[in-house]
Amino acid sequence: MHGNHEVFLSRIQMGLGFYYLILCILNWSAALMAWRSGIRPLFKLGGLTVSNLALWMLLGAWFLILAPIAMMGSPPELPEAVKHLINSLSGPVTLTVGSLAGMAFLFLFRNWWTKPAVAWVLLNLAMFGMGLAVTDANFFEIVGKPDNVPIVGLVFLLGFFTWVATYRAVINDDRRRQGLPPMEKVDDEKVLVWPDLVYTEMICMVAVTALMLVWALALPAPLEEPASSVKTPNPSKAPWYFLGLQEMLVYYDPWYAGVVLPSIVVFGLMAIPFLDFNKGGNGYYTIEERKFSYIVFQIGFFELWIVLIILGTFLRGPNWNFFGPFEYWDAHKVLAQNNVDLSQYFWGGLLERGMPKAPAGSSAGTEILYILWRESPGIILTLGYLLLLPPIMAVTVFRSFYAKMGLVRYMLMANLLLLMASLPLKMVLRWTVNLKYIISIPEYFLNF
Amino acid sequence: MFGSMLGLGYTCLAAAGGLWTLGLARFMFPNILTEPPSRFKVGFPSDFALGKVEEKFKAQFGVWIVNTEYNGQPEICAIRTVCTHLGCTPNWLEAEQKFKCPCHGSGFYKDGINFEGPAPRPLERYAISLADDGQLEVDKSKLFFEEMGQWVDPQSFYTG
Ligand code: FES
């Protein structure tokens, strides 16, 4: 086992060394920029004032020391105990709750973490954590798959763009409090499409093409075994951008998770301009003026799309079981996942009697009536959720919304929100009480 | 207008579009042999020991021959190798004694009943019967759904 590990390390040592070298160069470039554009004190450490210049220099030096150590094949690693802890803590529940908590944190403390110095330190931490984690063979295997490398890049890119948007929103919100116009108004110098925009686009095009070429040569696209209708690869994964969809399919019947929900997403997004009555934030970044839209969007996009993609890409292994980031993908991992329908819970568990069943030989009509009777708890629950909740919300939490939007627009928004919430709700029900379907009519391929 | 360069261009465009549409229409009728639903022999009933899942017909015919107890009575049945969730091909895990689908993690007991993951229905059975020469014969043109109460149909299993 240990010998294997040494072999593995020797395989990645050069790459990792260069990785640390790049981190060093990045930090020293930041130091250079700090030196050019004004050195600022960041914090005090026992009477000693640490400036940004000093901190970036130090960080760079730290990575410079790590680089040759990594190149010689003994990079810093995460202790086994920490890996075990992370593995045992990670699961769909922790991931979802954790990312929600993280989002709440980012939202509440946006004034703090958008400060460039703080964000830079956070980025350094993330990159260093990545460097530590790839020394684990299991982690490297998943993250380093040619399929998955772009997704790792996208995660960092997403972090960057989230930072840019939040940073500018924080500045604008600050300016608004002081009675100043948003940054975008101050700096609204017009540029020409030709040549300014077209040239920029062309340069970007050339640069991206060059990057793609290098990438394609350095990291060839993986080929899988020849397709066969009788053998499905294990795990069988959709392209990364569909992995959120595939994850949804774990919780819902195909017609709902694969057809209805995605259509609702598309039409719901198209409906937003008609539902939105808030004029704030037109043409500039802001969070304070659009809190509701901001939070709903972040939950829908970040929580229900990005997090599901990450889960599907990195944490779903053979048999679609959940695996911790440092866990070996064992095809024989056994997880007990006995799932039970709501009607089984209701008739069997609560009333302690058998499920209603049409007597043998009865007509199709009677059978349907019996099925409806059997599934009545789920049907009532679903109807109540979609029909009763909106009016209740209209007179409670969404009172002012209702007044501003009118009946039709309000109902549309409320139902879109409820349908969006149906996904996380179902996920939580699956994890906590092993619920399979709320309405389960396998006889007519109708499950919800 | 006609005879001008522009007219010529549009004519070519229309012709190309027409050909393309025809090509597309041709695409709807692929060059395949549509074989009639097959009947095939799988061997003598004694070849299938109780409690065993025979996998050797999976690749060619898409069927598992299973000899197991269903509702307390041992029967040999032909289970279709298609997940009832979204149609992937599950794997038989001997150690865990279950069928497990690699796509969204549905699990089925040896008799085909779904118990974990999103699959809403048990796996489906093909008709199975004893041929004149004493071999078992699977008929893929008939399907039996457990949730419709069709597994009590004597065509859906063979008891020795
Ligand atoms: S196709 Fe088998 S679990 Fe979805």
Residue burial B130-158, b: 16+ Cβ < 10 Å; e: rest: eeeeeebbbbbebebbbbeeebeeeebbb
- Report how far residue A191's alpha carbon sits from residue A199's, in angstroms, rounded to the nearest whole number: 12
Q: What is the ipTM of this complex?
A: 0.80
In A, what residues contact B, Cβ < 8 A?
228-236, 246, 249-254, 258, 318-321, 332, 334, 336-339, 360, 436-437, 440, 442-443, 445, 447
Model pLDDT, residue A1 = 47
Model pLDDT, residue B34 = 67
Do A443 and B88 make contact, defined as CB atoms within 8 angstroms?
no
Strand ranges (E), A246-357: none
Residues with CB under 6 A from ligand 1: A 249; B 83, 85-88, 101, 103-106, 117-119
Nearest-CB residue to A236 (from B103, B107, B148)? B103
Give the pLDDT mean for A368-372: 88
Positions of chain B with pLDDT lower than 70, given as ranges: 1-2, 34-37
pLDDT tens, position by position, A387-420:
999 999 999 999 999 999 999 999 999 999 999 9
Model pLDDT, residue A90 = 84
pLDDT tens, position by position, A273-310:
999 988 888 889 999 999 999 999 999 999 899 999 99
Strand ranges (E), A13-92: 41-45, 48-51
Model pLDDT, residue B2 = 60
Model confidence at A135: pLDDT above 60? yes
The tokens for A145 are: 């798959």
Largest CA distance in chain B: 84
Task: Give the Å distance between the CA of A438 and the centre of ligand 1.
Answer: 19
Is B105:A250 a contact under the CB 8 Å cutoff? Answer: yes
Do B116 and A230 make contact, defined as CB atoms within 8 angstroms?
no
- Report how far residue A177's alpha carbon sits from residue A181's, in angstroms, rounded to the nearest whole number: 10
Minimal Cα–Cα distance from B84 to chain A, Å?
A: 10
- Nearest alpha-carbon partner for A129 in A223, B28, A68, A121: A121
